[in-house]
Structure 1
Amino acid sequence: MRNISDIIEEYLKATIQKSGGTPLEIKRSEIAKRFQCVPSQINYVIQTRFTLEKGYQVESKRGGGGYIRIVKVSPHNQLDLFEHMIQLIGKRIDQHTAENIIIRLYEEQIITKRESLLMLSVVDRSNYQSTIAHRDEVRANMLKSMINCLKYKELH
């Protein structure tokens, strides 16, 4: 059985897709009322499932006329996406964010299912017997290395 977060995510993604590339503006309270949940549940879904590494840009305005605007960001080309992902990774990255980047590369059909599984296995925390900070630095270096390899493969 799916949980309420999955249902809200599915609804928002379908609504974004129907919007044909225009930004989706929602009111937290209206969506909460539709799904009979608290507005903080909507915040949770948006904060965890509509992130930059997953390809979404979110803008929020609080208050009486407040809204949440969600835009699906599409790269101009694969090179732009690779560069954007490398910027997101930075000097260190946690496992969850790394996984989101890999999943996005798969969803954008830039890598195969097999490549995504290999990459996911490399970023798994069980491979790094170290402090959290060091582990996140090594993971970032490994992920950037894999993306650079893919980037240069695509250029030649």
Structure 2
Amino acid sequence: MRHNISDVIEAHLKQIIEQNNRNIIEIKRSELAARFSCVPSQINYVINTRFTEERGYLVESKRGGGGYIRIQRLVHSDKTDLLTELIEAIGREVSQQVATAIIERLVEDRFLTVREAKLMISVLDREVLAFQLPTRDELRARLLKSMLVTLKYH
């Protein structure tokens, strides 16, 4: 299996976070870029797309010479609390990208199986929800919320 540099950086950061008892790490963008022989903007891309709130992370960044990036994995031991938080975060509309990130988070947190996630993602796909925007994102939000409420209470 071939991985691109973004996948490798993401996996590296997730491994470090897992090894840390507090689920929080601080990294220097320049040091990480040097380690992976890439430009610092590649690190920014990975952080901004792979470590989002929907995916279960809080990111704090301080720029400058002594700058750092702090990444914290949000851990929920209670399934109901996590699902409630996600339902509230969805709002009136949700993009396919954000919906997929939420579902992938539930797989990572072992609240969903990979099979269940694939079913959910397939239902929420833009090809299935063949409506114009914003109707498509509104319908996707309603469907996803309904699925999460079902998970919450069953």
Larger deviation: 136-145 or 79-88?
A: 79-88
8 Å contact from structure 2 (residues 107, 117) kept in 1: yes
Structure 2 counterpart of 1:97: 98
Answer 1 or 2: which has greater helix percent: 1
Partners of 2:15 and 2:23 in 1: how far apart?
13
TM-score (norm 2): 0.94
CA distance in 2, matches of 1:97, 1:22: 22
Q: Distance in 2 between matches of 1:41 and 1:2?
A: 15
Q: Per-residue displacement from partner, 1:96-144 (whole Å, max 9, x unpaired)?
A: 1101111111221212233212211111111122212110011000000
Q: In percent, how many aligned pairs have the same letter?
A: 53
How far off is 1:89 after superposition? Answer: 1.2
| Distance across 1 between alignment mates of 2:43 and 2:70 | 13
Tell me what 2:75 maps to.
74
**Equivalent residues in 2 for 1:1-156 (5 A)?**
1-153=2-154
Query: Which 5+ residue runs of structure 2 have no aligned equivalent?
Result: none
Deviation for aligned residue 1:22: 4.5
Please tell me the residue identity of whatever aligns with 1:136. Answer: D
CA RMSD across the alignment: 1.1
| Bigger shift: residues 89-98 or 18-27 | 18-27
Runs of 4+ in 1 over 4 A off after TM superposition: none
